Amino acid sequence: MSTILVVHHSPTPATRGLADFLLDATRDAAEMANEVLGSEQRIDVVEVNALEPDIDQLQAADGLILGTTANFGYISGALKHYFDSTFYAVQQDKRGLPMSWWIRGGYDTTGAAKAMRSITTGYEWQPCAEPVEFTGDIEPHHEELKDMAQAVVGQVAS
């Protein structure tokens, strides 16, 4: 069995809706992959609250999607906490982990995007889909989010 973690901090109704949309898209993609792969190679999608890091859970992950708001030019404190709590425990073992992320900002995502690239490079994780980084409404980005979810699932399935 393979596992994709969707680790996010979604404190507002808008970002909670975004997280739910992404989770549904990832689960739909995993369900389609499971039909092809059969029961022996099942892919499960697990939602993770960034404020509740679990090193064993991350160690067992085969793919990862991260999600955050852009706050004051940076990622959310909750996602930073997740990174701070897991880095030394998993950095050596999880090199090359296929992953991507979404960032939603009210006005700008530049600093948060730079931080995500820097931090995930430090982990030596491998982006397998173009991150979805945007401001404003979520709906115009639904296709990008679906594409990202499908790419992560596809990488784990291969």
Listed in order, strand segments (DSSP E) in 13-136 are 43-49, 63-71, 74-75, 98-105, 126-127, 132-135
Please, are residues 10 and 67 in contact by the beta-carbon 8 Å criterion? yes
Location of structure tokens 């291969």: 158
Axis crossing angle, helix 110-123 with helix 77-90, rounded to the nearest 10: 10
Domain extents for the chain? 2-157
pLDDT at 158: 87
pLDDT beyond 80 at 38: no
Domain 2-157 -> CATH class: alpha beta
Q: Which two tokens stand for residue 158?
A: 């291969």
3-state SS class at 99: strand
pTM for the model: 0.95
Q: Among candidates 58, 129, 128, 123, which has minimal Cα distance to 98?
A: 128
Q: Among candidates 102, 98, 72, 73, which has minimal Cα distance to 10?
A: 102
pLDDT in tens, 47-56: 999 999 999 9
Please, are residues 23 and 67 in contact by the beta-carbon 8 Å criterion? no
Instruction: Please report which confidence band the pLDDT of residue 151 belongs to, taking 50, 70 and 90 as the band edges.
Output: very high
Please, are residues 64 and 99 in contact by the beta-carbon 8 Å criterion? yes
Write the DSSP symbol of residue 42. -
